[in-house]
Amino acid sequence: MERRRLRRLVRRRPGGGGVSPPGASGRTHTPAILPLPMQYLPNDIEPKWQKKWADARVSEIDVTAPGDKLYMLNMFPYPSGDLHVGHGRNYILGDAVYRYFRMQGRAALNPMGWDAFGLPAENAAIKNQTHPRPWTLANIERMKKQFARWGILYDWSKEIASCEPEYYKWNQWLFLQLYKRGLAYRGTAPVNWCPQDQTVLANEQVVDGRCERCRALVEQRELSQWFLKITDYADRLDAGLDTLEHWPEKVKLMQRNWIGKSLGADVDFQVPVLGKALRVFTTRPDTIYGATFMVLAPEHPDVPVLIGDHPDREEIEGWITTVRNQSALERQESGKEGRFTGKYAVNPFTETEIPIWLGNFVLPQYGTGAIMSVPAHDQRDFEFAKQYGLPMRIVVGPASGVWLDVNDLAEAFTFKDETGVSVDSGPITELTVPKAIEKIIEIIEEKGIGKGTVRYRLRDWLISRQRYWGTPIPMIYCEQCGLVPVPEEQLPVELPLDVPFTGRQGNPLAKHEAFVNVACPQCNAPARRETDTMDTFVDSSWYFLRFITPDDSTKIFDSALVDRWLPVDQYIGGIEHAILHLLYARFITCTLHDMGLLNFEEPFTRLFNQGVITKEGYQDASGSWVSPREVEWRDGKPFRGEEPLTAEVTKMSKSRLNVVPPDELIAKFGADTERVYTLFIAPPEKEAAWSDEGVIGAYRFLGRVWHMGVALAEGRGPRAEGRGEAPAAVVRKMHQTIDAVTGRMERFEFNTAISALMEFSNTLGEAVNAGGGGELREAYEALLKLLHPFAPHATEELWEMLGNEAFVLTTQWPVADRALMQEDSVTIAVQVNGKLRGQVEVPAPAVEATVFEAVFANEKIRAWVTDKQIVKQIYVPGKLVNLVVK
């Protein structure tokens, strides 16, 4: 094949250097590297370097010292106990970035802490008849050891754990500040109740109508609970997304959808029998001439009056009760249902009477809980109208002017944009939809029957939980004074530890007399403490501020220092927090800004979401998960004994028995191998399938780097004489690699950064194998530096072996010399009508315009420079090849 031959020609050109001699029989094995006097045994060296880093406190940083600050942060984990290689991806990735920035000379802060409150600890305590605290603390210790064994450098002098009073005191303080400003309130609302976990949940914690944590069906209950008024910040949280240039679009979109900003209008419809108006919210006020009926949520406050004298009142009330008791999921699945109230409202534009219905598809929490129905132009209204035989009226037509007839409609025609034109709509007739909306809002406002409005889907954040293991809400109920906040000087309200865990009848805090009974801070009369605790997402909504001054017992944080170190420059964590944690953290940061405590509103400048690691799991016919140890393979299919199994690739989880614990892996190959493999496996933001076989590739790579280093250190490399020049190809490759890896580190392209290092290592290995030819050591040391973020232990050991004193970590990241990246010559191949016409070798700096004019003039030719680094292919229609060095 032409192309292949061409490539070979190019690769073997003189001066290319380092290319192995061809031919199986002719190949001689240079003993420069083999046989090996010193094996790569990671487990001999890794703990040693972990200890050295710890002893030297290399990762501790003085936040008051000057420097080019950089705040790196991995989302602090829930201390659930054992970490598997899937968790490792997150932390290994963060550590690689941290080490890279350190080598770039940045004053990089990389703290770690524990999101230590929460249900699993409580459930474990119930199961094991212990207390959540020792369980949690033991897990923390285990996980710290695992982090260390991965070679991850956190600044442990900044460690925090949210379950400690020193931390949650400030949670309570924050709550009191919010309460003072009216941003924390107690209110009664239909809330999500998880019967399994015996607690209420935030809307964000309900997924597909089920509890995010335990998957139980969530029930609706009318309860009095604590809320944070995140809705006050809906507009800012929405607008702020536009400023987050370095956040994944996906996350911003998810937040935008969750906030659910809608522009529209509130409009009053008079109801003569009520003697007042019912207000509706609509995003399509331009369709108001087509509003032929009105639908209220069954929960709407005016419903009892409307149906008070209805002959079938009891039946309707029964239906309302049924709907109210349904979960959101059941309510939707039961289809559209409604009841006619027997009453009428007046459409303010057509001035006709329109019937008022109740409908289960109208949600009480959104808008005004009442809608004007325009069946011709809204699919939901259309379905409802068809079902109950309600009238329709077409008020929007296509701009193209095609006639529409009500009887022809098989579905609603929405025409959301300029493609639609108002029809039969008084003053807005013939206006396009956007213009019609603008105009009708003007008229509505002139008439004083409503106004243009912005509505949000976002609802207030329900933060109270009827569970023990969380931050006590610092409020007191006094019969005389009502709700009384705990005075700040009495904080923290400590969580009592002498509590039995039976797992029965709700929150054990409520039965702790010494905790509950308290004197009212205002009147000193006997009073009762709030026994609800806070959602743990409150704990994590501001923890990144606490890392700067974790031990300050006098204030939540130091504003001046926080303003210096924050926003967090690089935040790393899973996509599962796209809405919950990240929205709450943004909200709380805004409130602290408004309190004058911060000079910024957005806490995280750059956000990165790593993908999950998946692995095959095996299920038997009954759907139970089978341990991979029991699986036998026959004809490429999995079996357990005679029983066929099904294989499914899923996220690693204990329940699916597909987790890969790092211990065995590290014992066999070392942490560096796991680190390199984990980052090499796939682009870090993508889901990646773990392959036990694939790990060996990373190990071999490190082994080759190791053996090369041993050879150089023992003087078997050319360094012994310290003379001569490294082959030009090695120097060139070094600069190309430095350039490539640096860019890829910045862009989080770790998989290709590592592949570039593998290529460089191969080039270097060939040069060493071939007996070198000069100064290979400089190139090798550059390789060690570039490799350090991925394989910190091996590179430190090799660095030392070569006689260097300081850590690789504290050296400077190499800088590429662009001039030396260039090839000294390039081969230009010329293709004419698909055939290789010839090739010309030219010195790289001389690749200029007229080189080929004489040779290939007057032909339709295709020409390109064969080395990608220099120039691209260029098409020249007939006359002149015009090549330019980039």
- Single out the segment in contact with RNA by CB under 7 A; choices: 54-62, 194-202, 247-255, 269-277: 247-255
End-to-end alpha-carbon separation of the chain, Å?
A: 29
Is residue 672 at the binding interface for RNA, with CB under 7 A as the rule? no
Q: Segment 341-370, which members bind RNA (CB under 7 A)?
A: 360-367, 369
Residues paired with residue 643 on neighbouring β-strands, in sequence order? 640
For the bound state, the minimum distance from the C-beta of residue 207 to RNA, rounded and expressed in Å, comes to: 6
Rounded to whole angstroms, the Cα distance separating 237 from 251 reads: 13
Of the two residues 521 and 697, which places its CB atom closer to RNA in the complex? 697
- If the CB atoms of residues 258 and 813 are measured against RNA, the closer one turns out to be 258
- Per CB under 7 A, does 646 bind RNA? no
What is the side-by-side strand order in the sheet with 835-843? 835-843, 825-832, 861-865, 874-876
Q: How far apart are alpha carbons 510 and 497 in whole angstroms?
A: 13
Smaller CB distance to RNA: residue 257 or 352? 257
Rule CB under 7 A: choose which of 9, 12, 15, 27 binds RNA.
27
Name residues contacting RNA, limited to 267-326 (CB under 7 A).
281-284, 297
Kindly state the smallest distance separating residue 78's Cβ from RNA, in Å: 19
Is residue 755 part of the contact set for RNA (CB under 7 A)? yes
Which residue in 354, 368, 366, 318 sits closest to 339, CA to CA? 318
C-alpha span between 115 and 348 (Å, rounded): 55
Choose which of 15, 20, 128, 494 interacts with RNA (CB under 7 A).
20
Of 125-133, 214-222, 684-692, 782-790, the segment contacting RNA by CB under 7 A is 684-692
Q: Which of residues 394-453 bind RNA (CB under 7 A)?
A: none
How far apart are the C-alpha atoms of 315 and 337, rounded to whole Å? 14
Closest distance to RNA from the beta carbon of 197 (Å): 19
Among 78-86, 110-118, 753-761, 781-789, which window interacts with RNA (CB under 7 A)? 753-761
Q: How far is the CB of 212 from RNA (least distance, A)?
A: 9
Of 243, 661, 873, 884, the one binding RNA (CB under 7 A) is 873
Site for RNA in 533-592 (CB under 7 A): 579
Which of 336, 719, 735, 785 lies at the binding interface for RNA (CB under 7 A)?
Answer: 336
* Smallest separation, CB 262 to RNA (Å): 4
Question: Could you tell me the two tokens for 102?
Answer: 């350190």
Give, as ranges, the residues between 457 and 476 that touch RNA (CB under 7 A): 457
Question: In angstroms, rounded to a whole number, what is the distance separating the alpha carbons of residues 50 and 36?
Answer: 26
Among the listed ranges 122-130, 163-171, 301-309, 690-698, the one in contact with RNA (CB under 7 A) is 690-698
Question: Of 696, 820, 855, 885, which lies in the binding site for RNA, with binding defined by CB under 7 A?
Answer: 696
Min separation Cβ 326 and RNA, Å: 9
Q: Which of 688, 729, 764, 816 binds RNA (CB under 7 A)?
A: 688
| Amino acid in position 766 | E
Tokens of 338: 């409604």
Q: How far is the CB of 765 from RNA (least distance, A)?
A: 6
681 binds RNA (CB under 7 A): yes
- The two three-digit tokens of residue 137, written as one number: 């603390």
Residue whose CB is less far from RNA, 6 or 481: 6
Q: How far apart are CA 600 and CA 645, in angstroms?
A: 55
User: Which residues does residue 339 pair with via DSSP β-bridges, in sequence order?
Assistant: 358
> Would you report the helix, strand and coil content of the chain in percent, each value rounded to 5?
40, 20, 40
What DSSP element (H or E) covers 4? helix 2-11
Helical packing angle, 85-103 and 671-680, nearest 10°: 90
Q: Residue 786 CB, nearest distance to RNA (Å)?
A: 14
Among the residue ranges 95-103, 332-340, 652-660, 801-809, the one whose residues contact RNA (CB under 7 A): 332-340
Q: What token pair was written down for 886? A: 């980039």
The four Cα atoms 329, 330, 334, 335 give a dihedral, to 10 degrees, of -20
DSSP-assigned beta bridge partners for residue 613: 688
Smallest gap from residue 527 Cβ to RNA (A): 38
Residue with Cβ nearer RNA (158 or 252): 252
701 lies in the site for RNA, by CB under 7 A: yes
Q: For strand 107-109 and strand 69-74, is the pairing parallel, antiparallel, or unpaired?
A: parallel
Tokens 């990089």 map to which residue?
Answer: 108
Q: Using CB under 7 A, which residues numbered 483 to 522 contact RNA?
A: none
Number of amino acids touching RNA (CB under 7 A): 89
Q: Which of 128, 334, 387, 627 binds RNA (CB under 7 A)?
A: 334
The reply on whether position 686 binds RNA by CB under 7 A is yes
CB contact at 8 A, 529 and 518: yes
Distance CA 143, CA 558 (A): 29
- Using the minimum distance from each CB to RNA, give the nearer residue, 197 or 204: 204
Q: Of 237-245, 541-549, 654-662, 862-870, which part binds RNA (CB under 7 A)?
A: 862-870
| Helix (H), strand (E) at residue 639 | strand 637-640
- Which single residue is written with the structure tokens 């799991």? 617
Site for RNA, residues 759 to 798, rule: CB under 7 A: 759, 762, 765
Residue 442, C-beta contacts closer than 8 angstroms, at least 6 positions apart: none
* DSSP result, 455-504: E-S---EE-EES-SSSPBP-EEEETTTEEEEPPGGG---PPPS-------
Region from 19-27, 80-88, 795-803, 805-813 binding RNA, contact rule CB under 7 A: 19-27
Q: Which of 107, 254, 802, 855 binds RNA (CB under 7 A)?
A: 254
- CA dist 505 and 512 (Å) reads 13
- In the block, which residue shows the tokens 């350190």? 102
Tell me whether residue 492 or residue 703 sits nearer to RNA (CB atom): 703
At its nearest, how many Å lie between RNA and the CB of residue 81? 24
